[in-house]
Structure 1
Amino acid sequence: MSSIKEQEAISRLMAFYQEWDNGNKAARSRIMNSFIALNRGKTGPELEQEFSQGGSLFLARLTTWLRLSYLFGTCLSEILQSVAIFLSAANGNRFMFEFVEVGGILTLLEILGLKHLKEEHKKESLKLLQILANAGRNYKELICESYGVRAIAECLAKSKLEETQEQAQVLLDSLAHGNPKYQNQAYKGLIALLPCASPKAQQLALQTLRIVQAIVNTAHPSIVDPLLGVLRSMHLEIQYEAIQLIKELIHTEVRPALLKGLVARLRPSQKESTKPRPQILDDSTVPQLTEPLPIFMQQAACAKAIGMLARESMELCEELIQLRVVHNLLFVMGNKDHTESQRQASLAVEYFVLSFSSVAEQVRKAIGENLFQMLMDNAEMLYMKMDTVQADILTSNQVNIPKVKEVTD
């Protein structure tokens, strides 16, 4: 009796494969949609039972058609969703091995780089790569060895859909965990994303870097310049993430470079100041700015970061003062073109003055008793009260504090 049932099952399976092999695009699409609807969430043994122990034959047909048609996007969503059922099946490790053996990882990574394919195709490919990465270290290494980090990072940077970008972020984060051989590759890939043009990609990269930094332990020197460059962003959420990462990196070996970079960026170089500005900034109906707006945003963010770091420890305060931070902060305070940078710089200077008697003495001498008293009365609103002459005094200050003495009161 069992033999008759087995023969019937085999006959049905052969008829199924014959329908697939002889079917056109519409027929195969119908077959896959039916397969997806009936088999989502099934385990490996259940899928084998469904195909009379011949599930691998259908997976092989799917992967073959995937490799032949992915360049044209033919039924690509259905193929990827069908493959996902096999790869995500519990106790279906054999399916993963078979998919990888025929070059499945390379195909998925190539899909990420094809401009003409839809975002949903790239999103599905990222999900499949996540399934593989979550299956163990060996698969993570195979993805990285296939130049996967670069392909995933480029997809994150260039994608127009936030959901696709978030899937890429999850995958990069996964490749950095439990993957000691290539965790630094994932770390550097995230750093490479910081200068990209997509604000969402920058935000996601910064969030992931904060997690991955704890894994790699050692901060790479190449992170300093792109991280400080992100402070030019017009998006406050990106500035927030950048400052939070700076606060964590300040306890690593890049601390000297970070402090020096923050102080230096309070005063833009001549090269930065003369960069071409957007045409809208020259419109007669809007206020004229003497420097590009991103520079002002960077000054405000640097002043804010410096104030936060100074409050962490007296040691950091002293290091910043030795870098002439007060001199540069006073310069920013006199910049009448951007009130937020003035406000943040005033608050930072106030903290240094209240913390060190020698700083208070030198600042009073440099800016005069009247302006100094205005600073101490209300640092946050100082920018609204000072006149042009006082602003010039601040921008031309020559404060230099070689030694600091902490206020004991």
Structure 2
Amino acid sequence: MASSKERVEMSKFMGFLQDWDHGSRATRIRILNDFVNTNRGKTSPELELQFAQGTSLFLTRLTAWLRITYMVGTCVTEQLQAIGIFLSAVSGHRYLVEVLEVGGLLTFLEILRLKQLQEDAKQEALKLLQIIANAGRKYKELICESYGVRNVAECLAHSKLEKTQEQAQILLELLAQGNPKYQLHVYKGLIALLPCTSPKVQQMALQSLRTLQSVVKLVHPCIVEPLLNLLRTIHFEVQYEVIEFIKILLNYKIRQALLEGLVVCLAPSMDFLKPWPKILYDEPTSSLTESSPLFVQQAASAKVVGIITKESNEIAEELLQLRVVHHLMIAMGNLEHADSQKQACLALENLIHSFPVVEEHVRKAMGEAFYELYMRNPANLYLKMDSIQAAVLVDNKVNIPGSVEAVAE
């Protein structure tokens, strides 16, 4: 027989459920806020003690009301926060099972896709999905089998608030770690985010790809094109992530494709790089404006070449076989983009100091006087170069065949 104290607790709990069952929307919001504020951080035994061993009765009501109302956005955030009290409770695994059994997972994932819902509701849904993912590998697989990667990636791509984006990024990384069956699926989902228009999303996708690369270990060839296209960005934080990721990927089988792509980017269009008649510079519709992303990509590619050739003579040799010197000199002759000139000058300087054969060919192609002007201060050559010297660079025929040997440091 229950003690008097237990009967009192039971009576209070039944009154609580009646208030919920007969309460208006405003009453339920008040109950939810009170529940969240007073029970945050409680363990499962503590919740059971407070609700006379009947917490599942309240949880069932919560999940049922959520499934009925989430499409119209009725206090979805408050409902998700209340469910989070149960899912995050220590020793509360049975609450997780109860939520999943009534379709809670699919509801959380659907919330991420609804345009009419506020971002704070999506943040709460992402937090609940993180709790589910942290429960173990089989739950990560369950999320992925429910098209979770697609929904989370779309949420990341379309969200406007950084808080929401951060929660989506955390969840995607969680779904890849300790989940060998679907880790490549998550990896491809992140690659699919690279062409999106948001610099912040691009940066986050690259950060996650870098984090997961050592986990996935394989590299899908489809990553080369979007990665090189991102070098066109004017956002330095994105460009930094691209360069760091390229350095990692050079240790994988796509190295040749990446190096070939970088070399091609150094000379995007011969027509744009030749000196133009001066009268054309004043035309507002000049196609030079349209080509500016290519010039940004050109400068970034030269920067990457400079970095990787300084770090590895082996990679530098491979680039020499791809006629990188010829293409760097073309970039140096770009009178319309100072950064292209500067980065190409610095990259070529490194190759000249490392490989005597490069110095020989460049000196011959540029001529003694022009070469001496260049070597006095490579970073400032663009300030002193005239159109004739630029034409010499653009029209160079430098080709370094066979193997080359680096100067010993």
State whether TM-score is above 0.5: yes
Q: Is the 8 A contact 2:302 2:344 kept in 1?
A: yes
User: How do residues 26-175 of structure 1 correspond to structure 2 at under 5 angstroms?
Assistant: 26-175=26-175
Please show how residues 198-347 of structure 1 align to structure 2 within 5 Å: 198-268=198-268, 284=284, 289=288, 291-347=290-346
Query: CA shift at 1:262, angstroms?
Result: 0.7
Supply the distance in 2 between the matched residues of 1:272 and 1:29 (Cα, whole angstroms). Answer: 63
Q: Does the aligned pair in 2 maintain the 1:290–1:337 contact within 8 Å?
A: no
Q: How do residues 346-365 of structure 1 correspond to structure 2 at under 5 angstroms?
A: 346-365=345-364
TM-score by length of 1: 0.94
- What CA distance in whole angstroms lies between the structure 2 residues aligned with 1:268 and 1:104? 51
TM-score (norm: length of structure 2): 0.94
Cα displacement (A) at 1:10: 2.2
Q: Structure 1 stretches (4+) deviating beyond 6 angstroms?
A: 270-273
Alpha-carbon shift at residue 197 of structure 1 (Å): 0.7
| Conserved? CA contact 1:350–1:375, under 8 Å | no
| CA distance, structure 1, for counterparts of residue 338 and residue 271 of structure 2 | 23
Aligned-residue identity in percent: 58
Looking at structure 2, the residues matched to 393 and 371 of structure 1 have their Cα atoms a distance apart, in angstroms, of: 10
Q: Which amino acid aligns with 1:91?
A: S
Alpha-carbon RMSD across the aligned residues, in angstroms, is: 2.1
User: Structure 1 residues 91, 271: CA separation in 2 closer, same or farther (over 3 Å shift)?
Assistant: farther
CA distance in 2 between counterparts of 1:272 and 1:172 reads 41
The one-letter code matched in structure 1 to 2:369 is N
Whole-Å separation in 2 of the counterparts to 1:195 and 1:407: 41
**Structure 1 residue 12, shift from structure 2 partner:** 2.0
Change in Cα spacing, 1:271 to 1:60, as seen in structure 2 (3 Å) is farther
Q: CA deviation at 1:341?
A: 1.1
Q: Which residue of 2 aligns with 1:387?
A: 386
Given the superposition, is the C-alpha separation of residues 111 and 347 from structure 1 closer, same or farther in structure 2, using an over 3 Å criterion? same
Q: How far apart are residue 352 of structure 1 and its match?
A: 1.1
Deviations 1:1-24 (A, max 9, x none): 843333332222222212211111
SS of residue matched to 1:397: coil
Specify the alignment match of 1:402 in structure 2: 401
Contact kept, 8 Å, 1:282 with 1:288, in 2: the verdict is no
| CA shift digits 1:313-359 (9 cap, x unpaired) | 22111100111111111011000111111100000111111111211
Distance 1:272 1:350, change over 3 A: closer
Instruction: Give the aligned residue type for 1:302.
Output: S
Counterpart Cα distance in 1 of 2:169 and 2:270 = 37
The answer on whether the counterparts of 1:44 and 1:90 sit within 8 Å (CA) in structure 2 is yes
Distance 1:155 1:313, change over 3 A: same
Seen in structure 2, the aligned counterparts of structure 1 residues 61 and 112 have a Cα distance that, compared at 3 Å, is same
> CA deviation digits over 1:124-157, x for unaligned, max 9?
1111111111121121111111111111111111
The answer to which of 249-258 and 290-299 deviates more is: 290-299
Matched position secondary structure for 1:398: coil
Q: Which runs of 5+ in 2 are unaligned?
A: 274-280
Check the 8 A contact 1:62/1:79 in 2, yes or no. Answer: yes
Shift of 1:291: 4.6
Aligned AA (1:331)? I
Q: Which runs of 5+ in 1 are unaligned?
A: 274-280
2:277 is matched with none
Change (3 A) 1:166 1:271: farther
Match of 1:277 in 2: none
The DSSP-based 3-state class of the residue aligned with 1:264 is helix
1:194 to partner: Cα distance: 0.8
Q: Is the 8 A contact 1:231 1:242 kept in 2?
A: yes
